[in-house]
Structures are given as C-alpha cells and as structure tokens.
Structure 1
Amino acid sequence: MAESLPPPYHLYDNATYEFCLVLPPKVNSAGIWENATNPSMIFSYSLPFLELQVVMIFLVNHLVYTILRPIGITLFASQMFELAIQATFRQPNEPQQVKMERLIGTLIEALTSFSVIACLLAELKILNTELGRLALSSAAVGDLSTLFLVRIITLSRPFISSPLLVLVRGVITCCFLALLFFVFRPLMYWVIKRTPNGGPVAEVYITATMMAAVGCAVVTHWTDRSPLIGAFLFGLAVPDGPPLGSALIDKFECFTNGLFLSVYVTSSTMRIRLQKWLSDPSHIKFSTIFSTATFFATLIPCCIGSFLNLMPFRDALAFGLIMSSKGIVQLSHICTFRDNKIISQKAFTTMIFCILANATIIPLLVRFLYDPNSRKYASYEQRNLMHLKPDVELKVLVCVHTLDNVPAMIYLLDLTCPTKESPNVVYVLHLIELKGRNSPVFIAHHNQETSTAASSFFENIIPFYEYEGNNSDLVTVNGFTTITPPKFMHDDICTMALDKQTSFIILPFHRKWSIDGSLEEENNVVRNLNCNILDQAPCSIGILIDRGRIQKSMKPSSSLSFSTGMLFLGGKDDREALTLAKRMARDPRVKLTVIYLIAYQDCDNVVYWDTELDTEMLKDVKQNSGKNGCEIMYVEEVSNCGAQTIKLIRSIANNYDLMIVGRCYRVDSILLTGLSEWSEFPELGVVGDLFASTDLDSRVYVLVVQQQQRININRH
C-alpha cells in the first residue's frame, strides 16, 4: 500500500518519482475502524473488495432465484438474469468482427451438452423417466461432437498464421490425454484399492487429486487454451462413484456450485455491452432471425425423428426442446471464443442473450408438455396377493440398500412357501445413491458374475442367487442395480414393478437396530423413498421392520420352525396381509396365529361393506384351519379403546418370530382411539407404528402390508 502518492503524472514523462511500498502488499485491512473519517477506505484493499463482490453476487443470485423459481425458471437462467442488475455499460474499442461468427453461432445453437441436459433433467425431475434416459443417451453423442468441432474451430485461426505451432499444440494435447488416461487414471484406481470397503478416502489422496486438477488447468492454459478444458478432461479421467468420486463431490460440490459457478456465470454475463448492442438495430434484427433459424434447425429434426419412431407428439416436442437446451457449457465456449478474439463484442452479447432466452423458455415449455406427475404408475389389472391365482407364480420385487438388509429379506422370501405349482420369481433391486457422476446407471446382473465392471455392485445380490441355488425349480432370482439420486429412486422401483408385473414390493424400514435390540441409526432418505413408493406403486407393498433378530450369519433351514402372528383389525390392507399369512401357513415349518381384534362396542350401527368382506375372509380361515397341512390358530381379542390395544400388542409382541399387520384401518375405529395423534411414522399406519416404536421391548420381526392402490385414469 503506498504511503504517499505524487501529483498526477503522464506515463511517459521524463520526471522521476519516488514511491514507498509495503512488500508484500497488504491485501486485507485493519478493520472498519482503521479510518473513521473515510469508511470507504476499507475497499481500497483487494480482499475486502473481493469479499464484497462475492457477497453481492451470492445475495442477488439467490434473491433472483427465489423470485423466479415459483414460475419454473431454472437456477442457471436465474444466475444469468443478474446481468440485468449488475452488468456494466462501458463501451471500449471493439476489435474488427471476424467472418467466423456465423459459424460459431450455428455451432452453439446446433450442438448439445451432456452436462447441461443432465442438470436440466434433474431440475425438472425427469432424469429417470424414459424421456430423460433417451435425452441423456443422445446428448452423450452430441457432447463428443461438440468437443471435436470446438477444438477444430479454436485451432483454425492460428493454423493460418503458424501451422507448425498448431501441430506442436496438437502433439502436446495428445500427450496430455495419454498422461491422463494411462498414468493418472490407473493411479486413482490404485487409491480406490487402498481405501477400505465403506471407509473414507485419505485426505492426502483428496488433496493430491485436487492439485492434479489444478495442474491440468495450468497445462492447458500454457498451450493457449482455456484452463476449464484441462480441468474438464481431468474430471473425465476420475473414476465415477464411490469412494473417490463421491468423496470429491461431498467435499467440493457445495462450494463450487454454490460459489464458483455463480461467480463465473455472473462475471461472464457482466461482460456484455448492452448500450453498444442496442445502438445497432440492424444487427439485432439479423441476430434474432439467425438465432431463431438455427434453433429450429436443431428442434425440427429431433421432433421428426422421434415422432417417426412412434413417440407421442407432445413427448417428441419435449424431447426436441430438451436437446436444444443451452447452459453453462455453451456459455464457457462463448467466453473462450471471446477471449481468443474469434468473435466480436456484439456477437458475444447476442449469444449471451440467446442462451438466456433458451435457458428461460425451454424449461417452462418442457414442464407444460411433459408432466411425469400426471403419469402415475397405475395398472388397470389387479396386481395384489388377494387376486393372485393359486397356481400362478408369485412375482416379488425386493429393494436392498445395504448388506444389512439382505438376511431379513431372504428369510421373508423363504417363508412365502414357493412350490412347483406357484414358484417365486424374485427381482432384486440394489439401490445406490448417485454421486460422482451426472447420469444415472441401471445394471442387470447375471449369476456367476465375476469379471465385469458391474461386479463391484454384486456383493448385495450374491446371497439371493445362493438362495435361488438352495431352492432350485422353486425360486428364480434376477438381480439389478440402479445408481440414481434418492429423490428419483421411486421412479426406478415403480417402473420395474410395472414392467415386470410384480404383485408385491418389499421395502426395508429406515430404522436399523443392532443385534442387542438397541436403535442404531435412522435414514430419512430411505424413509422418504418408502413414502413415495407407498403413494405411487402399481402393486401391493410390504415394509419390513427388522429389529436385529436376524443375523448375517444365519441361513434358512428346513429344520427351523417359525411362529407367525397376524393381527387383524379389518380393512383391505388387513385382508391383503391375511392372504400373505395364509400363503406362508402352507409351509410345514410355519405356525400361524390369526388374532382378530374386536371392538366391545361400535361407535355407530352402520354396517360397512369392508366389514362384510372381513367376515367372509375370517370365516374361510376358521373353516380351513388345519386343512391342507396348514397349522392355523384363530383367536379373538376384545378391546374398548386405544390403551387396551397398546396393552394387547405389548403382550403378544414377544410370542412370535414374525408379525404381519395391515397399514390402514377405519379412522373412527374405537380400537385405535387416540393413537393416531401419537403416531411417529404415518407410513406404517397406527399398529405398524406401535411395533416400530422404541418403547416396545421386543425383537419381533414385523411386516406392514398395504394393498395395491387403484388409481382412476381418465382416457381421452
């Protein structure tokens, strides 16, 4: 910081001036009280001024996004809207406009980016839909084309003046790519092998990886290319997913997306010169016509190609709009072209406004044309256990998050009594949270899988194939893995249940108990997933509560006996649960007790249709008890209020290995008076919530059943 400043002087004056500087220069001030008479003195230091700029960008960005988000504007478009507030209007001298601008504009409008489309689909919440997967596959091809063409264009101008320099840069680029994928990538796989299974990556490896990314950016900058390209190519070399990719995401995603991305978008759009651009109406007119023509040149072929391949018109139009979307990648290309003086200031301003209009309008149109919430996973068929014929195979979809879920799931499947006349077809779906990559992954496993890339996700599937081998001709297992964001996992589950025509989905409860029966952890992500599936599933559902009774080392055995209880209060969910219990009772190892809980006095004298159905089903249980090798005991218990119901549940909880209950009942039932207000987990129903409570001193294994929800769909 200069201690004294001389009078104004000319740069090329022959006079001599003396300066007194503090070296190294002081970037931070001594505080707001350093100069009380001149408070703005604090902004003469670089660090406070930088902090003020960052805070202003951050606050304005989130303020604009908060205002525009309710009408469907994306975060990227909101960040670009800041230019209307923060852009400066200086008019420096412009370089001569180059003839390649039209080609650049056509390239930017015509080509797509995988990252941009993945972010758009995620923000529109259609990443896992059929349309979203098609768009991602198409964008991957477009992304490769974009990288190739952009590289050719950026090298074309230097090639005219110095072909040898371009050749040298090309050789350096090839060597750089070879270094990335034949040296750095194997080193990162070595780091992954040294990381314990499920353990964190060592901090030294995280630091080394980030330093390598910065080094790659510096290398590309030395070759007169944008540093973003070097960092981007290094990102392609990093193995996706856990442990390394997900560790990098956890540490840096919030900081980079929340701060650096906002600063980059805002600072890039602030480079426009709006007054200069508005002063040339002829240029505006030509740019508008040209941009519109190139936009439709991309939109129309995508729509026609999709429509000719039997895609509905609205979906084809939405697909074309998605493939025509622009975002941060196109913005970075434009800034690179401007930095290299390939395009003029007017062309730069025009392209910025085109990206802004594109990022604003396209999400709104796609939301209007393609609404996944209106396309419920409904089925016109009865896909539940009650309507399953005795001699038809039982198709079950089992969802697994971790290896801890596997033993309890296999035990439940083993109790469903598969026979040659009615075998079990089990679809196992291993659910993994998407981290360290943009696009979701769906993997179909095969038995004896050992050397494929998917084998790393095979650990949780292997026990189910072993279960299949122990029950040959009775059980068929098909294993799958889906890697997707948690908020979209229910789409994969419901889609698979619909495609495979399953009758029952088994979900693990979000609470985990230790072997001694104490509560170990809760996972709210799993809980939200279960709630979404309960609302949208196309078949019946069971939520499995394992209180630590089943251990990993235990295996199903034909010599074991299982005591199963079914608490029946009435309603369609209880009838579905009783149907499953009756199927289990066909197994000679299973001893079933059906406990019918009766209210001492009804709150009214109305006879409900559900009551008639309950009576008929219980009559069938009493009449067929002991027949066909089924050992079923029927018991009736009386309760006058919710307190007596709780007392009954506590008295029977330790009498059984497995307890089966329905989820929903009549809300005005005397049996449950006052209990719904204290329910902690509404997704389990009142009775299921009591069995999942930490106040219950029991290790019983509980299955909460919900019958298929029928959804009325209007056909047009």
Structure 2
Amino acid sequence: MDPHITVFDNVTLISTTPSLSYNVCIDLPPKLVSSGIWGSASPLKSVFTVLELQIFVIFAITYCSHFFLKRLGLPMLFSQILAGIILGPSLKIDAIQEYKKMLFPYGSQDTLSCIAMLGYTFFLFVSGVKMDFSMVTRTGRKVWAIAVFSLLVPILSVYILFGVHGATLTQALGEYTGSITPVVIAQSSCSFAVIVVLLTDLKLLNSELGRLALSSALVMDLLSSLVQGLGASVINGLMGGKLLSNLLLLAVYIVFTPLIGRPVMLWVVRHTPEGRLVNKIFIDAIILAIILLGFLALQSNQPFWGGAYVLGFVVPEGPPLGSALVNKLDFFVTWFFLPIFVTTCVMKVDLFQSYNGNLLIITVCLVLLIHFTKMLLCMGISCYCKMPKKDAFCLALILSCKGVVDVNNFILLQDAGTIPHQMGSLMVISVLIIASIVQISVKHTYDPARKYGGYQKRNIMKLKPNSELRIVACIHKPGNIAAIKNVLDLCCPTQNHPIIVDVLHLIELVGRSSPIFISHRLQENVMTGHHNYSGDILVYFDIYEHEHQGAAKVSTYTAISPLTLMHEDVCFLALDKLASMIVLPFHIRWGGDGSVESKDNNIRALNCRVLDKAPCSIVMLVSRRIHAIDASIQIAVIFFGGRDDREALCLAKRAAMGTDISLVVYHIVSADHVKSTNWEAMLDDDVLRDINDPRSSRHHNIMYEEIVADDASSTTSFVLDIANEFQFIIVGRNYGVEIPQTQGLQTWSDFPELGAIGDMLASPDLDTKASIIVVQQQRMPNQ
C-alpha cells in the first residue's frame, strides 16, 4: 500500500503471508483541515479536504451528465448511477486508476459512507412525513386488490416455477440458490418514495392516475416493509439466538413510537399559533429522536434508517409541523445527500465483471417473469374496474418502477452477504434499465391534459336563453373572496337566469406527498387531522347562496396540490361540472390607496397554464377596488371583434340584465370601415345586432358607440381617456390577434396573458380604480 494514497500518517508493511498486513498510524481525532498547498503535509491527508473533493467530483459528474441525458427523457437516477460507474471499479481505464486512488484514498471511504447513509436516513424520514397514512383507510377495494395481488402473485409465480423445475434450477444455480428469495421479494415490492419522485418528475402527482398509483404504492410499500422487517428480525434472531429480544425491540419502535410520538407531535401542533412557525426546539428534538431511533433499530438487527422511516409516519402531514420539517430538510436531502448516497452505493459493485452464465440467464428470466406477472395483474384488475387500457398500462408501468430505495436494498443485501456480488451488480443494472424504461414510456404514453380537450362548446355565447350559467371560481387567499363575489353578482343571478358556482380554494401542497381534493358540500369523510381547510370561505359562500335563494347554488371545494400541478385540479373540476366559465384572480393585488400590495408569480404561472388547457371560457379578474353591486354600476366593453370580444360582450349583456347596471359598448373601427362578408365579421355583426340598432328596445340600459381609431396610438389614447369613467371594464384577450388598432402593443406587454388592452388597463403605472375583466373564449382542439 502506497502511504501517499491513504489518510494515515504512516503505513508500514509488516507481513506478506498469508495475506498483506500493514501497521498504520493515525492521529485521533484525525486531521480535519488541510494546512494548505504550502504546508508540509499533503492536502489529501486531511479528512475534510478529501471529503470536499469527493463531493465536488460526484456532483460535477452527476449534473454534467444529467444536463445532456435529461433531454433523452432519462431520470436523475440514471446520472447518479453513471457517476458511481465512472468512479467505481466498473470503469476499468488504466489512465484514470491512479486518479481514483488519489480521490478515494484508503481510510476515507468510511467518512463518505457515513455522510451518505445519514442523508439516506433523512430522505426516508422526509418521505414518511409526506405520506398521508389515512390513504390506507380511505382506499377502495380496487387499490387493495392491485397492491396485494401485484405484490404476492409474482412471488408465488416464482415459487411455482421452482416447484415445477426445482431440481433443474437448483442444479444450475448451485451456491446461488439461497440468494433468489430476497431478490424475488425486493423485485416484487414497490417503494412509495420512489413512486412519489417518479410522479413528481412526470408532473402526474395530482392527476387521477397519479392518485391511484400513490394509494396502491403506499399499501404495497407498507406490506412489503412489514414482511421484510419481520423476516430480517426472525432470521437474524435465529442465527444469533436472540429471536425474542429482536421481536420485542422491533415491536417497540413499530408500535410504541406511534403510540407515544403521535400524541406528542399533535400537542406541538396544538400549541403552535395559527400562521406561526413551529418552535425550533421541537424541530431539533425530532431530529435527535431520529438518531436515537436509529440506534434502537440497530439493536434489533434492523437498518439504521428503519426508525427514521417509522418516525416519519408519526409526524402529522402538512402545516405547521410536517411542512416545517419538509421545508428544512427536503431540498438539502434530495439535491445534496441523495446523489452522494446513490453514487457511493454503485461504487461498491462492478457492473462489468465476468458473470456466471447460469446465474445471469436465470436472474434475468426471473426479473422478467416477476415484472411481466405484476404488470399483467395490474392491467387486468384495472381493466376489470373499467379503466382505459392505456391508463391501465401506464399504472402497471408506474408500480413496476425502481429507484434509490431499491438500489439501497440490493447493496444492503450484498454487504450482508445475503446475495453475491454478481447478483448485486445485476440488480443495480435492472434498477437502471427499469427506471429509464418506465419514465420514458409513461411520459410518451400518458397525457393528463388530453381529457381537457373538450369537443362540446362550453362558453357563455352558446348558452341557451334562460339556461343556468355554470362557473368555477378560484380562490387563493381570503382577499380574493370579495372580488369573486363581484363577478358572481355581475352574472346577474335570478330565478330565470340562475348560476351554479363551484368555488375552488387552492392551497399549495407542503409537507406531504399526497394531494387532497375535498368536497365540502358532500361532507366527504376525509381525515384531515387538525386542519380546518377553507372554513371562512365555506361560511361566506353558504351565506351568499342563502341570500340568493333559488338564483344561485354554490358548492365549495378545497384542492391541496403542488403549484406546478394546480391547474390540473382547476381544469378537472371545470370539465366534471360542465362549467361554461372559469374565474381566475390576477396575481397582483392592489391596496385601498391604489398601490400594489402584493405580487405572486406562482399564481401568474398557474393562470397561464389554465389559459392553455381550460375546457371552457376563462375570465381573468384584475380587481383594483371592491364595488357594491347593489349601487349604480357603470360597465364598459371595448369591442374590436373576434371570438374573445364576442364572449366578453355576451358576459356584459348578462350583467346588463341587472336593473342597477349601465353598460356602454365601445366598438373600435377604422376610418375606412365597411361591412365585411367574411365569417368572423358576420359573427361580430350578429352579436352586436340587438344593441347597435336604434329601433331595438331590448336593452334599455345599454349604450352603443363607434370609436374611430386607425392605429395603436389612437387606441391607447381612447383607452386612457375612459379608464376612470367606469367601475368595470370588460375586454377580450385576443392574444396573438394582430389588427391595426393594437398592432405593436403586445411587443411592450408586461402581462401577455391579459392581451394588449387588458395589459394596458392592468398596468400598475395606470392610475385608475376600474376593475378589469379579461375574457378568453373556449379554445377548441382544432383551434
């Protein structure tokens, strides 16, 4: 051993028979900080310096490779395993062997492994915190059937195969026969944490398919973890003569941890004031408990992270405690510790070693048999429950996915001597191949947005006379309530023209991995713990429905989901309720003095996604001031023509049914305007016919005025002139439509989602009290 490639102070060879023996000297505690490049000792003799260099190289390889591989649809796990292949014994290139020895000197591996294992422990803890354990009690028979049969039947199929061809297979495997059982169980199981990561990457977490996959994975994970934990305790107990003590210790941290820990954590939640952060001392105490439970798990011959996983279940998901722990640990664990952990695991195997032919063939066949049986069962049960075949196929793929948890399980089995190194290498290769195939296949097979492609016209313009108007109104904060109420009042709810409103309270998913969708009218039996979601909103709109008895029917919902997937809940509810209109609050909020009070770019991104995928028309509400509808209200419509302007005018006509509403329609035309015979112009004339005909007395409170404007400058001047004359100004979005009167305005637009005129009126620089309503008519799939 070269003393220059170790972290020891002195290395002396003392024996060459029967094996090489060295006498090593090291200072304890070891030298942590380097004395610099000008010091007498090499920087590689410093434990901390070596650790920093190792982490830097791991991250450099991982993220540089992922920069290119993600364009092929490959998951981050692929890049992490690739880093382990490059830095481990798998890559046999003589030119870099010396550099590997310098990067990982003898004696430094323990420090890196300790850091990686600690990170994996916290990863499992955070995964446990995110779990909604009540999903187990709320799942239906379909989920239990998928989970139980997908776990047990593949295992039984392998043992049936061994029962039929047992002698032949045993002879072919020889000494490797005993390694088959743990591999079969591990391949049949499914990790909840792995499925969460996959669904998050695919942006399917709160889709219908994602919810079903999460429920099935949770049940399957709990069953397999329980079986594996009991099996490890029994086997180790029989071998060491401590069966009873092992089972007692296992029961202590599986049974007594929830019995003691859950009440304590609920007490912490109750003593945390609403809207305040959890006291830091409680967070520190929980982290200390993770370490203590880890040592208790070791005493029962369970892995160190077993206790952390159980404790994660105990933490109440969501705010304030669950979200505080996730916010503190999730980013650091996922993006710092996890790549190190996966890389160090793969560095323990040689993926390109020479394999035993029989072992290779039989192992590959068993893996294919297990996953084929699992997918066939999952698809069969799903299709029996009337799920589309394509969705059933994607669900089967998702529940077959492997990831970081499986890599750890196989390396743990290899380190314990339960499976040989050759089989450990094969299992890591199988994880790499399966994870890549699943992610690429599901991404190209399942499109959650396709169900929003409405082929029926759901907009205000196509509503029949005296028909009900169905609305989905989105609320983010209590400050949106009054503004949403104004829009509902503008829809003029009467017994002859009723409105049906579905109010959707949108909450960011924090501190849990399972999205929640609650219907308060149905009083669903949802175990939400101590949370009182949407209480004020529910009361407010119950009063609104009571005040408009027979004219308005209001249902309130709460959707808790990730910000990037929140539009799925909005579009799904609009599709399910056959809504004609979605009302979205603007992302800027104004104060009473006209100044900008707050901005939320997450809401803006949500609005843009809904505009792209909504199955009906959309109203974007820019509320500068709350107006009392029972007083006299002046509304203006700026009409250029086109489908969005026609939809805006139809909304304004409905508002004009109110006796206290005065509506002015400004029709912007060019100086050389002549009646056109093209289809769009004919539709414009049709929607204007009953208000621009002086002989018509249908709408006594509507005024029509033609405004001549030939360019964007004259249009801008006119809009600014009327900005302070009305309480509400309704415009069409007309995004991407170029006409002479607005040409060039969109180039300087700050908010393209509002269109050219809406952007001008919503500018924070414009001094106006008028609230802006921007309308986009439903986009059909062929448009």
TM-score, reference length from structure 1: 0.90
Aligned equivalents of 2:540, 2:374: Cα separation in 1: 49
The aligned residue for residue 441 of structure 1 is 516
Q: For residues 492-517 of structure 1, give each alpha carbon's deviation from its aligned partner in whole angstroms, at most 9, with x where no partner exists.
A: 21111111100000001111212221
> 210, 218, 227: which one pairs with 2:287?
210
Residue 224 (structure 1) aligned with residue 229 (structure 2): no
Aligned equivalents of 1:561, 1:693: Cα separation in 2: 26
User: How far is the alpha carbon of 1:310 from its aligned partner?
Assistant: 3.2
Contact 1:326 1:359 in 2 (8 A): yes
User: How far is the alpha carbon of 1:458 from its aligned partner?
Assistant: 3.1
Aligned equivalents of 1:368, 1:705: Cα separation in 2: 33
> 729, 732, 737: which one pairs with 1:662?
732
Matches within 5 A, 1:284-433: 284-372=360-448, 375=450, 377-433=452-508
Aligned equivalents of 1:116, 1:2: Cα separation in 2: 36
Residue 60 (structure 1) aligned with residue 61 (structure 2): yes
Residue 497 (structure 1) aligned with residue 574 (structure 2): yes
User: How far is the alpha carbon of 1:468 from its aligned partner?
Assistant: 1.1
Q: SS at the partner of 2:460?
A: coil
Gaps of 5+ in 2: 1-5, 93-173
User: How far is the alpha carbon of 1:627 from its aligned partner?
Assistant: 4.6
> 129, 135, 139: which one pairs with 2:207?
129
Q: For residues 324-373 of structure 1, give each alpha carbon's deviation from its aligned partner in whole angstroms, at most 9, with x where no partner exists.
A: 11112222322333344333323322222221221122222223332345
The aligned residue for residue 590 of structure 2 is 513
Residue 485 to residue 6, structure 1, CA distance change in 2 (3 Å): closer
Q: SS at the partner of 1:131?
A: helix
Q: SS at the partner of 2:348?
A: coil
Contact 1:65 1:75 in 2 (8 A): yes
Q: SS at the partner of 1:693?
A: coil
Q: SS at the partner of 2:665?
A: strand
Aligned equivalents of 2:8, 2:558: Cα separation in 1: 67
> 437, 458, 477: which one pairs with 2:554?
477
Q: SS at the partner of 1:636?
A: strand
Q: For residues 202-237 of structure 1, give each alpha carbon's deviation from its aligned partner in whole angstroms, at most 9, with x where no partner exists.
A: 333333332232332232233331121111111111
Residue 31 (structure 1) aligned with residue 36 (structure 2): yes
Aligned equivalents of 2:438, 2:7: Cα separation in 1: 52
User: How far is the alpha carbon of 1:567 from its aligned partner?
Assistant: 1.6
Residue 685 (structure 1) aligned with residue 752 (structure 2): no
Moved more, 293-302 or 217-226: 217-226
Q: For residues 46-65 of structure 1, give each alpha carbon's deviation from its aligned partner in whole angstroms, at most 9, with x where no partner exists.
A: 11111111111111111221
The aligned residue for residue 640 of structure 1 is 710
Amino acid at match of 2:78: A
Residue 557 to residue 681, structure 1, CA distance change in 2 (3 Å): closer
User: How far is the alpha carbon of 1:661 from its aligned partner?
Assistant: 0.8
User: How far is the alpha carbon of 1:629 from its aligned partner?
Assistant: 7.2
Aligned equivalents of 2:290, 2:371: Cα separation in 1: 35
User: How far is the alpha carbon of 1:399 from its aligned partner?
Assistant: 0.9
Contact 1:430 1:461 in 2 (8 A): no
Aligned equivalents of 2:720, 2:350: Cα separation in 1: 74
User: How far is the alpha carbon of 1:4 from its aligned partner?
Assistant: 7.6
Amino acid at match of 2:740: I
Contact 2:489 2:629 in 1 (8 A): no
The aligned residue for residue 73 of structure 1 is 74
Residue 633 to residue 268, structure 1, CA distance change in 2 (3 Å): same
Residue 586 (structure 1) aligned with residue 657 (structure 2): yes
Aligned equivalents of 2:736, 2:438: Cα separation in 1: 46
User: How far is the alpha carbon of 1:188 from its aligned partner?
Assistant: 2.6
Show structure 1 runs of 4+ deviating over 6 A: 1-4, 17-21, 447-452
Amino acid at match of 1:44: K
> 162, 165, 189: which one pairs with 2:266?
189
User: How far is the alpha carbon of 1:146 from its aligned partner?
Assistant: 1.1
Contact 2:12 2:23 in 1 (8 A): no
The aligned residue for residue 671 of structure 2 is 600
User: How far is the alpha carbon of 1:305 from its aligned partner?
Assistant: 2.0
Contact 1:2 1:22 in 2 (8 A): no
Contact 1:447 1:465 in 2 (8 A): no
Q: For residues 384-413 of structure 1, give each alpha carbon's deviation from its aligned partner in whole angstroms, at most 9, with x where no partner exists.
A: 001111221110001111111111001211
User: How far is the alpha carbon of 1:2 from its aligned partner?
Assistant: 11
Moved more, 439-448 or 487-496: 439-448
Q: SS at the partner of 2:533?
A: helix
Q: SS at the partner of 2:536?
A: coil
Q: For residues 640-671 of structure 1, give each alpha carbon's deviation from its aligned partner in whole angstroms, at most 9, with x where no partner exists.
A: 32222222222211211111111107844222
User: How far is the alpha carbon of 1:178 from its aligned partner?
Assistant: 4.3
Q: SS at the partner of 2:663?
A: strand
Residue 22 to residue 305, structure 1, CA distance change in 2 (3 Å): closer
Matches within 5 A, 1:104-119: 104-119=182-197
The aligned residue for residue 615 of structure 2 is 538
Q: SS at the partner of 1:341?
A: coil
Residue 128 to residue 262, structure 1, CA distance change in 2 (3 Å): same
Contact 2:7 2:44 in 1 (8 A): no
Q: SS at the partner of 1:198?
A: coil
Residue 151 (structure 1) aligned with residue 222 (structure 2): no
Amino acid at match of 1:336: L
Residue identity over aligned pairs, in percent, reads 35
Q: SS at the partner of 1:660?
A: strand
User: How far is the alpha carbon of 1:246 from its aligned partner?
Assistant: 2.1
Contact 2:583 2:619 in 1 (8 A): yes
Contact 1:98 1:342 in 2 (8 A): no
Aligned equivalents of 1:462, 1:190: Cα separation in 2: 28
Contact 2:317 2:511 in 1 (8 A): yes
Residue 68 to residue 606, structure 1, CA distance change in 2 (3 Å): same
Q: How many residues align?
A: 691
Aligned equivalents of 1:3, 1:482: Cα separation in 2: 57
Q: For residues 125-180 of structure 1, give each alpha carbon's deviation from its aligned partner in whole angstroms, at most 9, with x where no partner exists.
A: 222333222222221221121111111221231242356x2322322233324443
Amino acid at match of 1:220: A
Aligned equivalents of 2:672, 2:583: Cα separation in 1: 36
Moved more, 3-12 or 323-332: 3-12
Q: SS at the partner of 2:74?
A: coil
Q: For residues 169-196 of structure 1, give each alpha carbon's deviation from its aligned partner in whole angstroms, at most 9, with x where no partner exists.
A: 3222333244432333333333333434
Residue 2 to residue 221, structure 1, CA distance change in 2 (3 Å): closer
Moved more, 172-181 or 520-529: 172-181
RMSD of aligned residue pairs (Cα, Å): 3.0
Q: For residues 550-594 of structure 1, give each alpha carbon's deviation from its aligned partner in whole angstroms, at most 9, with x where no partner exists.
A: 2xxx8x674x22222212122111111111111111111222222
Residue 621 (structure 1) aligned with residue 691 (structure 2): yes
Q: SS at the partner of 1:459?
A: helix
Matches within 5 A, 1:452-471: 453=528, 455-471=532-548
Aligned equivalents of 1:120, 1:114: Cα separation in 2: 10
User: How far is the alpha carbon of 1:8 from its aligned partner?
Assistant: 4.2
Gaps of 5+ in 1: none
Residue 242 (structure 1) aligned with residue 243 (structure 2): no
Aligned equivalents of 1:532, 1:323: Cα separation in 2: 28
Q: SS at the partner of 2:180?
A: helix
Residue 675 (structure 1) aligned with residue 745 (structure 2): yes
Q: For residues 298-325 of structure 1, give each alpha carbon's deviation from its aligned partner in whole angstroms, at most 9, with x where no partner exists.
A: 1221122223333333332222211111
Aligned equivalents of 2:567, 2:685: Cα separation in 1: 35
Contact 1:278 1:284 in 2 (8 A): no
Residue 19 to residue 439, structure 1, CA distance change in 2 (3 Å): closer
Residue 142 to residue 153, structure 1, CA distance change in 2 (3 Å): same
The aligned residue for residue 648 of structure 2 is 577
